[in-house]
C-alpha cells in the first residue's frame, strides 16, 4: 500500500517539459549569464543557470534527471570560465539531486517554499564551490566571504521568483 | 543484489557522476601543477571548452551587433551636440601634449642612446588588432572575457591585450573566430610591474574579490598610495612601460607575513570594456609613426631652445609685449618658430654716436673746429615708441 501511495504522488506531481524547452532554457540561461555582466558588471552576482537547475529538478522530481541536468549545465558554465572542468559540474549535480529529492517532501509550487529553497540552495552551492576550490583544486585564493554569499543568495532568490512563474507556463503533467 | 541497485539507483548515479567529475578535475589540476607547469588545457579539454564557447558566442555576437547599432544611432545622431566643444578641447590638448612631447624628446633620445650603449632591447608595440568584447565567463570567480577575433585575425595565446588607458590582460584560449581574454584581476593572472617613481619591481595578481594586488613585496616606506605602476616587460607578455594602474592602498597581508598587500586601481576600466587592442607584434626600434612624432618633437624642442637662447641673449625683443596668455598659447598648434629680427631701441639721450644724428660726410669741413657742424641733439619723436622705464634704464654700476 505505501508503494502505491508513493507512485500516485509521483505521478500526480511530476512534470515534463518539451524537448526544445529542456535544451533552450538552460542555453538561454548560460547565454544571459555571459552577456548580462558585460552590460553591468554587478550582475555577475546572479547565477541564472543555478535557478534553472533548481527549477527543472524540483519540477521533474527525478533525482537522476536532476543530477544530469545539473551536471550538463555546470559543465557548460565551466567551459566559459578559465577554471578546470567539473567545479560547477559537481556543485550543480549535487544541487540538482537534492532539489529533485526535496520535491517529494515539500510543495514546491508554494511561494514561500520557493523562496526558502532558492535561498538555501544558493548558499549550499557557494559552500560546495568553496569546498571544491579549496580542497580539490587547492586554490589558495578561495574565500567564502559569508556576507557576499548572503547578498548573492538574496539577489538570486529575488530574480528566481519571476523566472519560476514564467517557466511554469512551459511545464505539463506527464 | 538487484534490489540494492534498484533501491539505491538515484544516489548511485549521483556518486558515479560526482566521482567521474572529481577524477577529471584531479587530472586537470595534476596537469597544471605538474613538472611542466603547463596551465594550458589538454587537447580534449580544450575541445570541450571550444564547444562550450561556440554554443554561446554566435548568439552573443548577434546580441552585441544589435546593441552596437542602437548605441551607434545614439552616438552618431543624438549625442553630437557637444562634439564641437570636445573637438576644440581635444585640439587644445593635442597642442599641449605636443609641447610636453617636445620637452621630453631630448630626455627620451638620451635614454635611447644609453639603452643602446647597454645593449638593452626595448620592445615597442608594432602591430595591434582591435577586438570587441562580446561576452563574459558569467562567473564571479573567473574574470574572463570573450572577444570577437581569433586565429584567423592573427591572434595567438599569451598575447598582451591593452586599451589606450592601460593593460587589460592576455589571451588564454584562441579559436578561429573568437578568443578568451584573461583579465589581470583574475586570480590565475599575473604580470611583472615596476613602481614608476621608486623603480621597485613586483608582480601583480588578481585577488578573489576582483581587485589587482601586488603581494610579493615587503613593507617599504618609499611605497605610497597614488604611485603609478607600469609594466616591467620581464614577463615576456606585456611590453615595458605600459600603464597598469595606481596604488590604492597598502596594508599588511595577514596571510603572507611579512609581505604587504598593495592594492592597485587598474588604469583600464576592467568592468566596462568594449573594445580592446591585442598586441600581435613588437619590435626593438621605434615604430615608423612614433619615430616621425619623435623627430617632430625633437625639431620643435630645438626650435624652442633656439628661441629661448635668443630671448636670453637679446632680452629686449620681448620688451613691451603683453604677457602671453597661457590658454591662447595652448590653443596654438606648435609649429616652426617665426624668425624675429631685433631692432635697436631709440636712445634716451642721443649723442653724436646715435644713428641718424651724424651729418653726412659731404657736409663736414676738414679742419673745422669741433661743434661747428654738429647739429643739436635730436629729441626722440613723440611717435616713436617709448620703451618701458624698467627695461630701458641702465643697470646701476656696482
Burial (CB < 10 A; 0-12, 13-18, 19+), residue B238, is buried
Q: Is B141 exposed, middle or buried (0-12, 13-18, 19+ CB in 10 A)?
A: buried
Segments of chain B with pLDDT less than 70: 1-2, 34-41, 68, 71-72, 74-81, 115-123, 284-287, 290, 313-348, 350-360, 368-398
pLDDT given at position A158: 94
Name the residue of chain A whose CA is nearest to B23's CA: A86
Identify the three-state secondary structure at position B303.
helix
Query: For residue A122, is pLDDT > 90?
Result: yes
Residues B119-170: tens digit of each pLDDT? 655 667 778 888 888 888 888 888 888 888 888 888 988 899 988 888 999 9
Among A49, A83, A89, select the one facing B21 at the smallest CB separation.
Answer: A89
A159 interface with B at CB cutoff 8 Å? no
Closest listed residue to residue B184, CA positions, set B154, B163, B200: B163
Specify the range with the lowest mean pLDDT, choosing from A14-28, A77-91, B187-201, B379-393: B379-393
| Interface probe, candidates A81, A93, A135, A145, chain B, greatest B C-beta count within 10 A | A81
Instruction: State residue A43's pLDDT score.
Output: 85
Q: Which residues of A touch B256 (CB under 8 A)?
A: none
> Phi/psi class of residue B241: alpha, beta or left (left: φ > 0; alpha: ψ in -120 to 50)?
left
Q: For A148, which residue in chain B has the nearest alpha carbon?
A: B209
Q: Are A96 and A125 in contact (CB under 8 A)?
A: no
Residues of B in contact with A49 (CB under 8 A): 138
Distance from CA of A161 to the nearest CA of B (A): 20
Restricting to A residues 7-66, those with a Cβ less than 8 Å away from any Cβ of B are 27, 30-31, 33-38, 41, 44-45, 49, 63-64
**pLDDT surpasses 50 at A1:** no
Query: Is the Cβ of A93 closer than 8 Å to some Cβ of chain B?
Result: yes
pLDDT of residue A130: 92
The sign of the torsion formed by the CA atoms of A140, A144, A148, A154 equals: positive
Q: What is the pLDDT averaged over residues A72-90? A: 89
Asked if A77 and B139 come within 8 Å (Cβ–Cβ), the reply is yes
Amino acid at each position: 500500500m505505501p508503494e502505491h501511495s508513493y507512485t500516485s504522488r509521483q505521478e500526480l506531481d511530476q512534470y515534463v517539459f518539451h524537448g526544445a524547452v529542456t535544451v533552450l532554457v538552460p542555453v538561454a540561461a548560460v547565454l544571459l549569464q555571459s552577456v548580462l555582466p558585460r552590460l553591468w558588471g554587478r550582475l555577475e552576482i546572479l547565477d541564472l543557470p543555478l535557478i534553472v537547475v533548481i527549477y527543472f529538478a524540483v519540477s521533474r522530481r527525478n533525482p537522476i534527471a536532476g543530477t544530469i541536468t545539473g551536471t550538463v549545465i555546470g559543465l557548460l558554465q565551466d567551459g566559459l570560465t578559465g577554471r578546470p572542468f567539473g567545479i560547477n559540474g559537481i556543485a550543480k549535480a549535487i544541487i540538482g539531486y537534492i532539489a529533485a529529492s526535496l520535491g517529494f517532501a515539500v510543495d514546491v509550487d508554494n511561494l514561500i517554499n520557493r523562496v526558502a529553497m532558492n535561498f538555501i540552495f544558493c548558499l549550499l552551492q557557494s559552500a560546495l564551490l568553496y569546498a571544491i576550490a579549496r580542497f580539490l583544486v587547492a586554490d589558495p585564493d578561495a574565500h567564502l566571504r559569508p556576507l557576499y554569499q548572503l547578498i548573492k543568495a538574496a539577489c538570486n532568490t529575488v530574480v528566481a521568483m519571476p523566472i519560476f512563474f514564467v517557466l511554469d507556463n512551459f511545464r505539463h503533467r506527464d | 543484489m538487484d534490489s540494492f541497485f534498484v533501491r539505491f539507483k538515484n544516489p548511485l548515479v549521483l556518486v558515479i557522476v560526482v566521482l567521474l567529475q572529481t577524477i577529471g578535475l584531479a587530472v586537470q589540476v595534476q596537469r597544471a601543477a605538474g613538472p611542466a607547469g603547463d596551465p594550458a588545457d589538454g587537447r580534449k579539454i580544450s575541445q570541450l571548452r571550444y564547444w562550450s564557447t561556440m554554443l554561446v558566442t554566435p548568439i552573443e555576437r548577434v546580441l552585441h551587433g544589435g546593441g552596437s547599432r542602437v548605441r551607434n544611432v545614439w552616438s552618431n545622431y543624438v549625442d553630437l551636440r557637444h562634439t564641437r566643444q570636445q573637438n576644440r578641447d581635444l585640439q587644445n590638448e593635442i597642442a599641449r601634449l605636443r609641447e610636453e612631447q617636445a620637452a621630453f624628446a631630448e630626455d627620451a633620445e638620451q635614454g635611447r642612446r644609453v639603452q643602446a650603449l647597454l645593449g638593452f632591447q626595448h620592445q615597442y608595440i608594432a602591430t595591434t588588432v582591435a577586438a570587441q568584447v562580446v561576452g563574459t565567463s558569467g562567473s564571479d570567480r573567473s574574470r574572463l572575457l570573450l572577444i570577437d577575433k581569433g586565429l584567423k585575425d592573427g591572434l595567438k595565446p599569451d598575447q598582451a591585450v591593452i586599451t589606450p588607458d592601460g593593460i587589460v590582460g592576455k589571451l588564454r584560449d584562441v579559436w578561429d573566430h573568437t578568443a578568451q581574454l584573461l583579465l589581470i584581476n583574475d586570480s590565475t593572472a599575473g604580470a611583472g610591474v615596476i613602481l614608476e617613481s621608486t623603480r621597485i619591481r613586483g608582480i601583480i595578481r588578481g585577488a578573489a574579490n576582483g581587485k589587482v594586488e601586488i603581494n610579493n613585496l615587503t613593507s617599504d616606506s618609499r611605497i605610497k598610495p597614488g604611485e603609478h605602476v607600469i609594466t616591467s616587460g620581464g614577463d615576456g607578455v606585456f611590453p615595458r612601460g605600459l600603464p597598469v594602474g595606481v596604488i590604492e592602498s597598502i596594508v599588511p597581508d595577514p596571510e603572507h607575513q611579512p609581505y604587504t598587500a598593495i592594492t592597485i586601481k587598474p588604469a583600464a576600466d576592467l568592468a566596462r570594456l568594449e573594445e580592446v587592442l591585442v598586441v600581435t607584434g613588437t619590435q626593438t626600434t621605434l615604430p615608423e609613426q612614433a619615430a616621425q612624432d619623435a623627430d617632430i618633437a625633437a625639431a620643435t624642442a630645438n626650435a624652442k631652445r633656439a628661441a629661448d637662447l635668443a630671448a636670453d641673449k637679446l632680452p629686449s625683443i620681448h620688451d613691451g609685449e603683453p604677457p602671453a596668455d597661457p590658454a591662447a598659447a595652448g590653443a596654438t598648434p606648435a609649429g616652426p618658430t617665426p624668425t624675429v629680427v631685433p631692432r635697436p631701441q631709440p636712445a634716451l639721450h642721443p649723442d653724436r654716436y646715435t644713428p641718424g644724428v651724424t651729418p653726412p660726410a659731404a657736409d663736414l669741413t676738414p679742419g673745422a673746429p669741433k661743434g661747428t657742424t654738429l647739429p643739436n641733439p635730436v629729441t626722440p619723436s613723440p611717435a616713436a615708441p617709448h620703451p618701458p622705464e624698467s627695461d630701458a634704464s641702465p643697470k646701476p654700476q656696482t
